[in-house]
Every structure is written in C-alpha cells, then in structure tokens.
DNA sequence: AATGATGACAACCGCACCTCT
DNA sequence: CAGAGGTGCGGTTGTCATCAT
C-alpha cells in the first residue's frame, strides 16, 4: 500500500486557480466521455490540460460537477451539519452524503468559517459539542499563556453579537473569570427586554445569586429562556439556536412585573436587592451595544473600564 | 487613496485505503 | 502476499474581496 508519486510534483504542471478555458476543457472532456472520467492520471493529457490529475479530480468534484448546489447554506442544512458533526466528527465526506449537492470541501470550509465560530461565541466547544470547561477559562484569565479561544472569541464578539443572550453568556464567562462572578449580574441589564425598573429588579436580584445555574434559574422564573442546555443534548441544538435567533429578532413582549417577581424560594436578601438601582455595567454595556465595533480585545480601554466598573458593583 | 487586517472560499498536500496484477 | 497504481479524505495553505485605519 505504498504511496504513489504524484504527478503534481512534475515540473511545469500548472497550479493555482483554474481559468475559464481550463474549466471548459475539463468539462467538455468529461462530457465527451459520457460523464465517466476513467483514469484521472491520464485525463489531463487527454483533455489537453497542463494540470495534475489530482487537481482535475478536485476541480471536478468540488466545483464543476453538474449536480453541485451553489449558494448559501440554509438553516436546515446548517442544523443538519451540526447534528451530524456531533455524531461523526470531522468525517466531512460522510456528512456530505447527507446533504444533496454539497461537497465535503464546501461543508468543511463552512464549518471552519461559520459554524465553528458561532459555537465558540456561545461557549460551546466545536470539537466536543459540550460547554467549554470553566477551568479552561479561569486558567486563561489567571495569566496562563494563550487566553482561551472561547473567551477570546466571546469577548471579541461582544459588540457584534446579534443575540443578547449570547452576549450575556460571553460576559458571564468573562466576569466569572475576572471577578469571581460577583459582578456578572450587572451585565444582565443590557437586554432590552423590559423597563429600567424591571431590569433593576431582575439584575440586582441576580447579583445576590452567586451560582451561575441559580442565576439562570432566576431568569427562567421571569420567563427568560436564555440558556437551555444545548450542551447536554446536541440533538436539541438546532432548535435551541433557532429559538435564540427568533428571540433576538422578534419583538417579544417585556416580562410582566409578576413574572419578574422574585420567587419565594429565594433568600430574603434577593428580594431586597431587587429594589436597589442597578449600577455598573448596564450603561457601559448598552453604550457598547450601540457601537458594536468598540468592543474588542484590542481596545484595552474598554476592558480596563469594564474591570474598574466591575469592582464598584454592589455585592 | 493607500495600506494592512480579516474573512471566505478554492485549491493544494500528503497520508491512508482500496483494487488489481 | 507484496507492491504499484489510483483515489478518497482531512488538514492546511493560497488567493481574492472586503473592511478598517
């Protein structure tokens, strides 16, 4: 099973982008043979192409084949890719067999340029499809070389995220890292869901709940559905993502006062905190939200200011 | 307007596997 | 069974367009 030498190493064989003439020669040659290629190695000479046979095969299978579907991936296709990737991993060719007209190369590129980044923004490991471990993030913030890719991605994306809930998640992770999570609640004011008073109630209450899951539960009590756990069930991701997109895009009614009421099961100080005016990140974040490009890791001042604000939040 | 940075996509590279002799 | 030819596959790189400075 030795590896055969590739004709691509031949001197004078052209590489790089294909011209229209080359495409036409390749297509006409294959059509002349009824769509059958025979030997790819012999094809270039027969077709009058100064190309490696391998290059011809790639060009045909990934671009010139008549049954290839061009254009953007649909939502359904994206969901299918994610689900299949969770099951199959980087088996691009196998994944491609489930999507009509899509090539493995196209799917692979789409994954690397779109889906992977989207998952990272949501705090999801695109390899394991699980939530990225907090230790990873904490270690990164402690000065370990190489800030966590997830944190970097989340932080760099803060201003551009079109989904408030993603912002919340990203900032939660960031603040847990920076400040032990104590200030994270203030960030929740940047949500556009309800009135300022409602936000005060919700977010001050949240600040009294140190545990991330408890915070999420409190939000859930107020009819928020921010972090349904895709991470524990990859099959539900597509729907979850779709719901998130809908939530972000829709003009969903603000939660009612009743919905925002602190549940009786929460400690008394939580209820008390609900009446305190929110401070800290709210203004900062809403300002950032209006100017998407101001948030980036390169903008040291932003993070410096945010750190300063976080330290002044009431606990 | 020029230049650098970034993102998206096409194409290449090298290894592994399958088939045939 | 071994080895060569041919192809499939996944990772990586190159190229070009667009955006930011």
Give me the pLDDT at residue A141, please: 36
Mean pLDDT calculated for residue range A157-164: 38
Instruction: Inform me whether the pLDDT recorded for A52 exceeds 50.
Output: yes
pLDDT of residue A122: 76
CA/C1' separation A277–C15 (Å): 54
Output the pLDDT for position A71.
79
Mean of the pLDDT values across residues A64-86?
A: 84
Q: List CB-based contacts (under 7 A) with strand C.
A: A 1-6, 16-17, 37-42, 53-54, 57-58, 61, 90-94, 104-105, 108-109, 112, 293
> In strand C, which positions have an atom below 7 A from any protein CB?
3-12, 14-16, 20-21
Measured in angstroms, what separates residue A1's CA from nucleotide B17's C1'? 8
Per-residue HEC secondary structure of chain A comes to CCCCCCHHHCCCCECCCCCHHHHHHHHHHHHHCCCCCCCCCCHHHHHCCCECHHHHHHHHHHHHCCCCCCCCCCHHHHHHHHHHHHHHCCCHHHHHCCCCCCCHHHHHHHHHHHHHHHHHHCCECCCCCCECCHHHHHHHHCCCCCCCHHHHHHHHCCCCCCCHHHHHHHHHHHHHHHHCCCCHHHHCCCCCCCCHHHHHHHHHHHHCCCCHHHHHHHHHHCCCCCCCCHHHCHHHHHHHHHHHHHHHHCCCCCCCHHHHCCCCCCCHHHHHHCCCCCCCHHHHHHHHHHCHHHCCCCCHHHHHHHHHHHHCCCC
Q: Which CATH superfamily is domain A75-121 in?
A: Homeodomain-like (1.10.10.60)
When comparing pLDDT for A89 and A304, which is higher?
A89
**Does A69 score more than 60 pLDDT?**
yes
Q: Which bases of strand B sit closer than 7 A to a protein CB?
A: 7-19
Q: What is the pLDDT of residue A20?
A: 83
| Chain segment A6-39, per-residue pLDDT in tens | 555 555 778 888 888 888 888 888 888 777 777 7
A5 compared with A209, residue with greater pLDDT = A5
pLDDT, tens digit, for every residue of A97-117? Answer: 888 888 888 888 888 888 888
Give me chain A's average pLDDT, please.
Answer: 55
Nucleotide nearest to A107 (CA to C1'): B9
Domain ranges in chain A are 75-121, 134-311
């Amino acid at each position: 099973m030795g590896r055969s030498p590739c004709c691509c190493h031949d001197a004078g064989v052209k590489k790089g982008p294909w011209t229209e003439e080359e495409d036409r020669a390749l297509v006409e040659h294959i059509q002349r043979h009824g769509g059958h290629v025979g030997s790819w190695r012999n094809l270039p000479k027969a077709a009058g192409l100064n190309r490696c046979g391998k290059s011809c095969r790639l060009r045909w299978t990934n671009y010139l084949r008549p049954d290839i579907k061009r254009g953007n991936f649909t939502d359904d296709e994206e969901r299918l890719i994610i689900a299949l990737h969770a099951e199959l991993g980087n088996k691009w060719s196998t994944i491609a067999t489930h999507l009509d007209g899509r090539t493995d190369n196209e799917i692979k590129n789409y994954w690397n340029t779109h889906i992977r980044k989207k998952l990272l923004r949501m705090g999801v490991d695109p390899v394991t499809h699980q939530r990225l471990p907090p230790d990873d993030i904490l270690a990164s913030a402690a000065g370990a070389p190489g800030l966590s890719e997830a944190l970097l991605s989340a932080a760099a994306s803060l201003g551009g995220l079109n989904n408030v809930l993603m912002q919340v998640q990203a900032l939660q992770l960031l603040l847990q890292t920076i400040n032990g999570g104590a200030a994270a609640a203030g960030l929740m004011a940047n949500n556009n869901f309800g009135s300022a008073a409602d936000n005060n109630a919700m977010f001050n209450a949240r600040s009294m709940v140190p545990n991330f899951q408890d915070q999420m539960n409190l939000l859930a009590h107020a009819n928020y559905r921010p972090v349904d756990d895709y991470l524990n069930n990859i099959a539900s991701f597509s729907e979850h993502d779709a719901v998130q997109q809908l939530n972000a895009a829709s003009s969903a009614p603000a939660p009612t006062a009743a919905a925002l009421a602190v549940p009786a099961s929460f400690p008394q100080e939580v209820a008390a905190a609900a009446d305190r005016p929110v401070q800290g990140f709210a203004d900062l974040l809403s300002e950032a939200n209006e100017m998407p490009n101001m948030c980036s890791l390169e903008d040291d001042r932003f993070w410096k200011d945010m750190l300063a604000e976080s330290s002044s939040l009431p606990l």
